[in-house]
A and B are shown apart, each in its own frame.
Chain A
Amino acid sequence: MWNGPLEKIDRYRYRIPSSYHGERGNVRMRAEGLIFASPSMIDQIKRDNALEQVANVATLPGLVGGSMAMPDIHSGYGFSIGGVAATDSEEGVISPGGVGFDINCLSGSTEVAMGDGGLEEIKNLNCKEKVLIFDYLKNRVEKAQIRLALEKRDRIFEISTKGGYHIYATLDHPILTSEGMREVKYLGKGDSVGIYDEEFGFDAIKSIRPKGVEEVFDITVSSPLHNFIANNFVVSNCGVRLLRTNLTSNDLDEKRVRGLVDQMFANVPSGVGSKGKVRLGGKEIEEVLEEGAKWAVDNGYGWKEDLEFIEEKGQMKTADSSLVSEDAKRRGIPQLGSLGAGNHFLEIQRVEEIYEPEVAKTFGIENKGQIAVMIHTGSRGCGHQICTDYLRVLERAVRKYNIDLPDRQLACAPVKSKEAEDYFKAMACGANFAFANRQMITHWVREAFEKTLNYSAKDMGLKVIYDVCHNIAKLEEHEVDKKRKKVYVHRKGATRAFCKGLEQVPTEYRSVGQPVLIPGDMGTASYLLVGTEQAMKETWGTTCHGAGRLMSRTRARREFRANEIIDALKKKGTYIRAASLKVVTEEAPDAYKDVSQVVEAVEGAGISRKVAKMTPLGVVKG
């Protein structure tokens, strides 16, 4: 729960003043936090620690401009999801969004067991010693190497449970709860906390009372308890692609929709561990990693003109496949050309509303009822392995460059360091894999339409409207204090939304601006937006990326039944074909936030405008 200052600027903007020093008083914001949200969303946003993360990001070395958050903001690791920040291209850092250490505040009286079995008082310890750490949770032992032992004064709280247990801890101390680890500040009466007393069990909190200020020790252990595995962020280049057609919903009766969905399901490998139909030989994976969608087109997947309608033309030129491990390549080879599972999908959509007919027409959307196809997937196991590999590199960089951050999970490396440069080039490889993946899937979607409807894809006008990344860091030139300046823009769960006139916007769209694709959750609406000048001025040309999860997968599985969801979707005219019924419950529409509210807020703030709204007729889920 957020208790810090939050000033309302206007109906869609809130500010965290840079005078805020954080919950623990150790945050030195270099600039203010700027949150885009409507009043109806702000209560929910305040509920987790996303806003504290916005303040923390404002401390990044070399930060240029403010630390921003889009309306779909929710708590991430290090950065919030929906977080946007730019860093100086000379003096800044590149942050994968957080690789951190766990910092436990222990009182001075805490006994510390040395690695050799002896006991030592915490204040006598030296860094680098191997210890077992006993903390307030009785019996909880952690073997680790100490990196940092700082003495400080902090507020101690006593957590009493109904069963008569007491835990003493500082506000930022993580406590085991039935919902996972939670810092004390997020706990309240009635929450279940884990108790070890011979047997492991949970007990409800009766009260949490302040016990005054005591000497505590910040023990930073070597156990790299970094939260965020970079694959959520920079590496995976999860993204969205939208295709248009000349068809309208009148051309597709229920039977044809089913036929198309079944054919797409057959054509595009999906589901957990899904493997592509293609076997790459020799050095081909390296070509994929360096050439992205261009590789796919050169090898017969799709049309040359598709490349014009992809962010970066489907190829991050900074990619260097020599910086990607053999493991990542081998994980990537079998999965190229597959959808995967989870929130990834293929949808046949019907244009439900057109808000700006002229802009829509420029993008190839002419009529209500027109059929479009949306593809949502990323870089699969290849990107995840790149992330796993670079996690280690960046974690070491934080120590090496001694970067001072309020949240160690915001790990980063100076832009000119070898670590940052290598990471940036490897990350680009992950992005290229994702571009190639969406390009190959596009090809198979076209084949599915051709086979089912007996027209050629060209005749059906199955063109790419656009393809966006929504987890990526990029070197871009923006206006800062009336001068052009190169900055690294970090978009973590956010989408580039460039305005009209810019060379990065495809020539055909340059008079209106860049299309922005916002996927809804399964069975609800998705949106086509357009970038604005306001976004260029205020958000480095950035807007929101989607709905965002509200409920855990396991909880969704408990609360929803697959057949009921499928029936409910069917009543709304949506046919779904999923590799797994389990995924259907996990991705239930009610497990997500309302995407329409998110889109209203970014339009209200002027950082993008609604062009069209689409609803699904048919869905392929992993």
Chain B
Amino acid sequence: MMRDGYRLFEHTADIGIEAKGKTLTRAFEEVANGMFSIITDGSEIESKIVREFKIKADNVEELLVDFLSKLLYYYGAESLVFDSFDLNLNEERLELEVTAKGEVYDLNKHRYGDEIKGVTYHNLIIEKHKDYSIVRVLFDI
């Protein structure tokens, strides 16, 4: 059995994440975890602050990109970094309900990672297999 998780992959100017999960929902959660590990260089993040939001999209790829973009928005606008995600994904209706937990980015506590400018659709892959799902996404750094 493959374990849930993510790993980073390289690109000439950018960095990407490949995440695996038993379900697509889990893979989405893992890719979000991976994104914040890029931002904080793998520092520990505590679950002190909660943000809830809903996404509706035209397709599952848009759903993923909008989800990650919204998290980046909270990071940019409110300085929040997250490490815990509770997702409710409705693939039929293409809706995603998100509960993200984290805390305010603290220079002394969290390390410097890379600044992510945006989530790209470049070679975005969402694969649903029988027992697991894979998500690959490239970030504009």
Chain A interface (Cβ within 8 Å of chain B)? Answer: 74-75, 77, 99-100, 102, 132, 139-145, 174, 176, 178-181, 199-200, 222-229, 231-232, 236, 271-273, 275, 327, 330-331, 333-335, 340-342, 381, 384-385, 387-388, 391-392, 549-555, 579-580, 582-583, 586, 622
Interface residue B99 (Cβ < 8 Å from any Cβ of A): no
Smallest CB–CB gap between B29 and chain A, Å?
18
Q: Please give me the residue from chain B that is nearest to A137 by CB atom.
A: B127
- Given A132-B128, A180-B10, A180-B138, are A333 and B77 also a contact pair (CB < 8 Å)? yes
Q: Please give me the residue from chain B that is nearest to A230 by CB atom.
A: B118
- A549, B16: Cα distance in complex, Å: 17
Contact of A223 (CB < 8 Å), options: B61, B128, B140: B61
Q: Other CB < 8 Å A-B pairs besides A143-B126, A180-B16, A551-B12, 6 of them?
A: A200-B2, A223-B59, A387-B118, A554-B15, A579-B112, A580-B112
Q: Which of B83-97 contact A (CB under 8 A)?
A: none
Contact of A142 (CB < 8 Å), options: B12, B14, B69, B126: B126
What are some 15 contacts across the A-B interface (CB < 8 A)? A102-B123, A140-B125, A144-B60, A176-B136, A179-B10, A181-B136, A223-B61, A229-B120, A229-B121, A273-B39, A330-B77, A385-B76, A550-B12, A552-B11, A579-B112
Q: Mark B1-23, 1 if CB is under 8 A from A, else 0.
A: 01000001111111110001000
Contact of B15 (CB < 8 Å), options: A179, A226, A381, A553: A553
Q: Is the Cβ of A272 less than 8 Å from the Cβ of B12?
A: no
Smallest CB–CB gap between B20 and chain A, Å?
8
Smallest CB–CB gap between B136 and chain A, Å?
8
- A384, B14: Cα distance in complex, Å: 15
Contact of A77 (CB < 8 Å), options: B9, B15, B122: B122
- Chain A residues with CB under 8 Å of B121's CB are 99-100, 223-227, 229, 391
Q: Is the Cβ of A174 less than 8 Å from the Cβ of B123?
A: yes
- A293, B114: Cα distance in complex, Å: 27
Smallest CB–CB gap between B28 and chain A, Å?
14
Q: Is the Cβ of B118 less than 8 Å from the Cβ of A229?
A: yes
Q: Is the Cβ of B39 less than 8 Å from the Cβ of A272?
A: yes
Q: Please give me the residue from chain A that is nearest to B105 by CB atom.
A: A273
- A275, B127: Cα distance in complex, Å: 37
Smallest CB–CB gap between B78 and chain A, Å?
8
Q: Is the Cβ of A341 less than 8 Å from the Cβ of B112?
A: yes
Contact of B76 (CB < 8 Å), options: A140, A273, A551: A273
Number of A-B contacts (CB under 8 A): 171
Q: Is the Cβ of A583 less than 8 Å from the Cβ of B112?
A: yes
The number of chain B residues touching the other chain, given as a range, is: 35 or more
- Chain A residues with CB under 8 Å of B119's CB are 229, 388
- Chain B residues with CB under 8 Å of A553's CB are 10, 13-15, 114, 141
- Given A331-B73, A579-B112, are A222 and B58 also a contact pair (CB < 8 Å)? yes
Q: Mark B95-121, 1 if CB is under 8 A from A, else 0.
A: 000000000010100011111011111
- Given A142-B126, A223-B61, are A385 and B79 also a contact pair (CB < 8 Å)? no
- Chain A residues with CB under 8 Å of B2's CB are 199-200
- Given A327-B73, A551-B12, A553-B10, are A225 and B114 also a contact pair (CB < 8 Å)? no
- A102, B123: Cα distance in complex, Å: 7
Interface residue B48 (Cβ < 8 Å from any Cβ of A): no
Q: Mark B39-72, 1 if CB is under 8 A from A, else 0.
A: 1010000000000000000111110000001001
- Chain A residues with CB under 8 Å of B136's CB are 176, 181
- Given A141-B129, A180-B10, A342-B141, are A227 and B115 also a contact pair (CB < 8 Å)? no
Q: Is the Cβ of B10 less than 8 Å from the Cβ of A272?
A: no
Q: Is the Cβ of B115 less than 8 Å from the Cβ of A342?
A: yes
- Chain B residues with CB under 8 Å of A330's CB are 73, 76-77
Contact of A275 (CB < 8 Å), options: B9, B79, B120: B79
- Chain A residues with CB under 8 Å of B77's CB are 327, 330-331, 333-334, 381
- A143, B129: Cα distance in complex, Å: 11
- Chain B residues with CB under 8 Å of A225's CB are 61, 121-124
Q: Is the Cβ of B12 less than 8 Å from the Cβ of A552?
A: yes
Smallest CB–CB gap between A615 and chain B, Å?
25
Q: Please give me the residue from chain B that is nearest to A198 by CB atom.
A: B2
- A239, B59: Cα distance in complex, Å: 35
- Chain B residues with CB under 8 Å of A384's CB are 72, 76, 117-118, 140
- A191, B55: Cα distance in complex, Å: 39
- Chain B residues with CB under 8 Å of A331's CB are 73, 76-77
Smallest CB–CB gap between A244 and chain B, Å?
29
- Chain B residues with CB under 8 Å of A100's CB are 121
Q: Is the Cβ of B127 less than 8 Å from the Cβ of A141?
A: yes
Q: Which 9 A-B pairs have the closest CB atoms?
A: A580-B112, A381-B76, A331-B76, A227-B122, A181-B123, A330-B77, A341-B115, A552-B10, A223-B61
- Chain A residues with CB under 8 Å of B9's CB are 178-180
- A391, B117: Cα distance in complex, Å: 14
- A199, B77: Cα distance in complex, Å: 40
Q: Please give me the residue from chain A that is nearest to B38 by CB atom.
A: A272
Q: Is the Cβ of B123 less than 8 Å from the Cβ of A271?
A: no
